[in-house]
Amino acid sequence: MRENRRFKFLRWLMIVFCLIGSIYATQSAMLDTNGPVKAAKKTELLPGEINLSKKAEPVAGMVNQWDITLRVEGRNQFPPAPTDIVLIMDTSWSMNENDRMNKAKLAAEKFVNMVLREDYINRIALITYNTDITNYTFNESGWSGRFVDAEHKGLLIDKIKELKPVENGGTFTQSAIKTATEVMRQATGEKRNVVLVSDGVPTYSYPPTAPYNQLAGMEKFDYLQNGYDYYETVKTIPKDNFNYDYRNKEGNNYFGNGAKYRIGGFAPEFEAMPSGSKNRLMVNHAHSAIAEATIAKNEKRAVGDDLLTDFYTIGVDMDSTSQDDEVVTGNQTMKEIASSDDKSFAATADNLDDILSGIAGEIVGAIKSGFVVDPMGQGFEIQGNVDATQGTTEIKEVNGRPTINWTVGPLKTPVSSEPDENVMFAEITYRVNANNSVLEPLIIDANGLAKTNGKATIVYKDYNDKVQQKEFPRPEVRPIIVSLQKKLSNEKNEEIEDPTKAFDFHYGDDQYTTNDYFSLYPNDVKKIVHPWKADQDYFVEEILKNEQEYETTVDINGLKTENTKANFKFAADVSSYAHQQIVVTNKKISETKTIILNIRQSVLKPNSELVIPSKAFYRSLIIGETQQQMNLISGSSTKDTKTEVSEALFTKYNIVLAREQKQLKIIDLVPEYYNFFGYIATTTNLNLNTTHLSSNTSTLIKNNEADLDVQTNSEYWVTMFITPELGSDSSGEHSISPRPYSWDYKVNQFGY
């Protein structure tokens, strides 16, 4: 039984090992035989498939501002349609200028590496031309051919690196095109393309035969205004009417001087004009190059299809805005040589690499051409420029919204630097601001999110030349709202409405808030959405008019400020951005105000023979725009200890003052045989039994005029201290008792 269990366990273990080995072997085989599987670990795309992405990233240090990245990725076809390419490179002496030759060689090398990847069934032939044409044949270890495949591409790259401009070399473009056509007859690829790189207008050609070398077969054109009629060779000379076996008297097979694209046509190659004729014949080498390209594009293979699939042309440093006749003609010639307008490119020496990479992308990539339409979402606007890794962009207004039109072209930038990378990408980036339109209905959803963009789409031609359309995802962001509500209350702090009163406000003074001036009526709410700087102090300020006399409270997110101006800020951390809820309340300032006065009199060191007053009399003076007098009476006692003093000793007055009255002065009317000792005044009843004692000399004021600020404080506690003063007799001796028939304190009527 034990032996049987052991056998089962060993058999199970062997099965596991076999499975692991099988999986490993399968993966190894896939990695060895199928290059794209390795790259698929980075981007899960099938050959020829594309992926669209779009994201919104908050701008560092900013609120309500995002950077949008719209990206297209595509895995090259695997394998791409087998394509044979003839690469024609101009090596005339002008290619020496602006380092064109060196930059063209670097671009061509990159082009070769993109097209001749391992396992691609593509081939490239090389032709160079100046005055002479060189048609290269490559040889290596028993292998020979004009078309170089991926296995032998090193031979082609080495030859490209050796290329140099030929001194005094002209531009025999027609012959280069004719040679390329002859080479292409040897092509076996499913697609057959020609790529021509040149920096100048043709300056040589083959002479035509009758009637195209005669006046009858030429075309009149405006030339020199010298009394003669000029005729030049046309663009439509057919194949059988060029003298490809031509030799001039020096034995050369070209016609022209190598300097100009248009020269005089004279016998014996061209018809001789009669003596005295006003007609002049001219040879246009550019027209002959265009005619030769037309011949090539019309060539058929034995099976009946076109010999050429596409003819690409790249004009290097031929400024399309130039008015120079040579440059204008050169540009037009390159356009007409190409198989279509979109196959002709104007390049500089510096972006030739980019254009050749684009052509390679058309040949092997997932997208041959693409066009993106990217409208902004409601409430979002573009801030600044649109940056593209390739292609051209344009911003237009469509249905009232800014819309980006992006002509993408083929994908040509690898997503990584790995040698076997076959996933390419293109992207645009731009910045958007949120604005107040985002507050319109149904823009912000229940979660507080809004879409930065409308429906963005790409229309593209895939590797099978089929037109496809796809939609990008729409990023969602959280706009931050600054909301201000206006409230108004009466003197009793009861909220009221008054549709006749408008109150003015403004925020901040930086570039984003400088225009934030607005007016609100009571119970109005003003919401604002625009960019703000994070971690910076902003303010909201109410600007009251002269006639608007109110007490103002600003409540920002629950924090109240008794002022017409208060600060707020957004957190530095993006995840902590929060809406700002601001409530500004104006309370009506009353025309009158009530001041509470609590007052008493304390008699210090009373004399047993002297009447101790039980009441105290005061004269008060209310000071404002007008002055007002008032008489007050309070209790009077001898209590001046901690255990004796309490609130019960004070007489309370509610004094109603006009709003402009700001001071209350109180004078103690001291009875005969008494002197004023001092007073203590506090704005609170806290610790009366220690504060309102004559022993509190730090607070005691000796002046018999208590000066109270009733604008700042609305309640006072006042203690007036008096002491006996019996005076001296006629001999100057200090009296120890009142004089007979002295004044009776009780009948004192304040002198009235």
**pLDDT of amino acid 20:** 36
Query: Taking CA 104 as the corner, what is the angle to CA 186 and CA 417, rounded to the nearest 5 degrees?
Result: 95
What number is the average pLDDT over the span 684-707? 96
pLDDT at residue 195 greater than cutoff 90: yes
Going from the C-alpha of 9 to that of each of 1, 22, 531, 567, 731, the distances in angstroms are 13, 20, 70, 77, 138
What number is the average pLDDT over the span 176-204? 96
Is residue 35 exposed (0-12), middle (13-18) or buried (19+ Cβ within 10 Å)?
A: buried
The bridge status of strand 482-489 relative to strand 476-477 is unpaired
3-class DSSP assignment, residue 240 = helix
Q: 592: pLDDT confidence band, cut at 50, 70 and 90? A: confident
The bridge status of strand 65-75 relative to strand 50-58 is antiparallel
pTM across the whole model: 0.69
pLDDT at residue 9 greater than cutoff 90: no
What number is the average pLDDT over the span 363-377? 93
Q: Residue 73 — φ and ψ, nearest 5°?
A: -125, 145
What's the CATH code, domain 83-205+286-363? 3.40.50.410
- Considering the chain, what is the average pLDDT of its residues? 89
What number is the average pLDDT over the span 317-327? 85
pLDDT at residue 95 greater than cutoff 90: yes
**pLDDT of amino acid 41:** 44
Instruction: Delimit the domains of the chain by residue range.
Output: 57-77+369-475, 83-205+286-363, 482-588, 592-747
d(CA 235, CA 221): 13
Q: Where are the alpha helices (DSSP H) in 67-152?
A: 100-115
Range with lowest mean pLDDT among 239-253, 413-427, 497-511, 720-734: 720-734
Q: Where are the alpha helices (DSSP H) in 44-147?
A: 100-115
**Which of 3.40.50.1370, 2.30.38.10, 2.60.40.1140, 2.100.10.30 would CATH assign to domain 482-588?**
2.60.40.1140
Whether residue 377 contacts residue 411, with contact meaning beta carbons closer than 8 Å, is answered with no
**Which of 1.10.150, 1.10.10, 2.60.40, 2.70.50 would CATH assign to domain 592-747?**
2.60.40
Q: Fold identical between 57-77+369-475 and 83-205+286-363?
A: no
57-77+369-475 classified as CATH 2.60.40 = yes
pLDDT at residue 22 greater than cutoff 60: no
Q: Where are the alpha helices (DSSP H) in 338-456?
A: 352-364
Task: Choose between 13 and 330: higher pLDDT.
Answer: 330
